[in-house]
């Protein structure tokens, strides 16, 4: 079996090992984020955030949606109200505003599976790597859809959700739970795949080799700045790259 990443990634791997003080990088599991990584769902989220917040007199750009992805929705709302309206609102008020965003989201058709992700999972599975999903989402219908769409690769015990942790991304906790659910792996035995700055920060904080796949409008540099060890512009590029020992 060739190495997971091609030779040009060796420098990034060595930098990672040196920085974390690990001896070897031996991936046995890949921990995928959900929104913007395995589902092309961020355009839907962006549209619903902007529309819902506008009804409360809040301005939220598409870039704002991507920059705050991964944070708890109510926290994002409380920050925006403080910044734009100079007042503090309660968790319950913020929740009511968030519910409007969730209501609009539920009206949209299901987001498509990200191009390249099924092929990538096929390669990983063939090589004997475990596949897990680590999401900050708390929407149970989405978890059922996950098990349906990815039944060849994923079981319920390999999904980390908002219900598994007290602290969400950008804290490392969700990815640390992912390592546990993968059978008690060490950070150097896994890879994180993320699309958002907050998610990259969480993977890096968990001391896991973190690959960013940029599926949104932020510059790649925004993901590199959070410490992503490799940055791809598309999932299909990552899929093409894995187990290619000769390029």
Site string for Mg ion, 55-94 (x = CB under 5 A): ----------------------------------------
Closest separation in Å from C-beta 69 to Mg ion: 5
User: Which of 30, 35, 181, 198 is the binder for Mg ion (CB under 5 A)?
Assistant: 35
**Nearest-approach distance from CB 203 to Mg ion, in angstroms:** 11
Q: What length is written for the chain? A: 247
Q: Is 114 in the site for Mg ion (CB under 5 A)?
A: no
Q: Which is nearer to Mg ion, 130 or 135 (CB)?
A: 135
Total of residues contacting Mg ion (CB under 5 A): 5
CA gap 32, 162 in Å, rounded = 15
Helix then strand then coil, in percent of the chain rounded to 5, is: 50, 10, 40
Binding residues for Mg ion restricted to 196-235, rule: CB under 5 A? 196
Q: Which stretch binds Mg ion (CB under 5 A): 33-41, 107-115, 157-165, 221-229?
A: 33-41
In the complex, the smallest distance separating the C-beta of residue 238 from Mg ion, rounded to whole angstroms, is 14
Contact yes or no for 235/21 (Cβ under 8 A): no
Whole-number minimum distance, CB 116 to Mg ion, in Å?
16
Binding test (CB under 5 A) with Mg ion, winner from 4, 13, 16, 36: 36
Whose Cβ is closer to Mg ion: residue 36's or residue 170's? Answer: 36
Closest distance of CB 137 from Mg ion, Å: 9
Rounded CA-CA distance 12/221 in Å is: 15
Say if residues 212 and 195 touch (Cβ distance below 8 Å): yes
- Please give the structure tokens belonging to residue 199: 């998610």
Nearer to Mg ion, 36 or 203 (CB): 36
Q: Which residue has the tokens 């599975």?
A: 125
Per the DSSP assignment, residues forming a β-bridge with 130 are 29
Q: CB of 39: closest distance to Mg ion in angstroms?
A: 9
SS3 of 223-237: HHCCCCCEEECCHHH
**DSSP state for residue 65 in the 8-state scheme:** H
Nearer to Mg ion, 34 or 77 (CB): 34
Q: Cβ of residue 223: shortest distance to Mg ion, in angstroms?
A: 11
Backbone angles phi, psi at 20, to 5 degrees: -90, -10
DSSP code per residue over 161-175: -GGG-SS-TTSSHHH
Query: What is the rounded CA–CA span in Å between residue 219 and residue 183?
Result: 35
Contact 38, 150 (CB under 8 A): yes
Figure out which of the listed residues 33, 173, 226, 241 binds Mg ion, where binding follows CB under 5 A. 33
Please list every residue from 177 through 196 that binds Mg ion, using CB under 5 A. Answer: 195-196
Binding footprint of Mg ion on the chain (CB under 5 A): 33, 35-36, 195-196
């Amino acid at each position: 079996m060739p190495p997971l990443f091609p030779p040009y990634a060796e420098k990034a791997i060595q930098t990672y090992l040196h920085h974390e003080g690990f001896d070897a990088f031996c991936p046995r599991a890949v921990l995928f984020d959900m929104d913007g990584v395995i589902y092309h769902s961020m355009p839907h989220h962006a549209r619903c955030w902007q529309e819902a917040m506008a009804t409360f007199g809040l301005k939220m750009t598409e870039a704002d949606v991507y920059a705050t992805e991964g944070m708890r929705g109510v926290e994002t709302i409380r920050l925006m109200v403080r910044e734009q309206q100079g007042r503090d609102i309660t968790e319950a008020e913020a929740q009511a505003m968030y519910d409007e965003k969730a209501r609009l989201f539920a009206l949209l058709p299901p987001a498509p599976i990200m191009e390249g992700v099924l092929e990538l999972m096929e390669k990983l599975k063939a090589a004997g790597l475990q596949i897990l999903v680590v999401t900050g989402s708390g929407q149970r219908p989405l978890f059922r859809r996950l098990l349906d769409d990815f039944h060849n690769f994923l079981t319920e015990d390999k999904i980390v959700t908002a219900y598994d942790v007290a602290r969400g991304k950008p804290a490392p906790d969700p990815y640390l739970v992912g390592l546990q659910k993968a059978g008690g792996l060490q950070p150097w035995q896994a890879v994180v795949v993320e699309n958002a700055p907050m998610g990259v920060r969480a993977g890096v904080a968990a001391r896991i080799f973190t690959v960013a796949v940029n599926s949104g409008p932020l510059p790649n540099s925004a993901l590199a700045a959070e410490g992503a060890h490799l940055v791809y512009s598309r999932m299909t590029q990552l899929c093409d790259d894995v187990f290619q020992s000769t390029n």
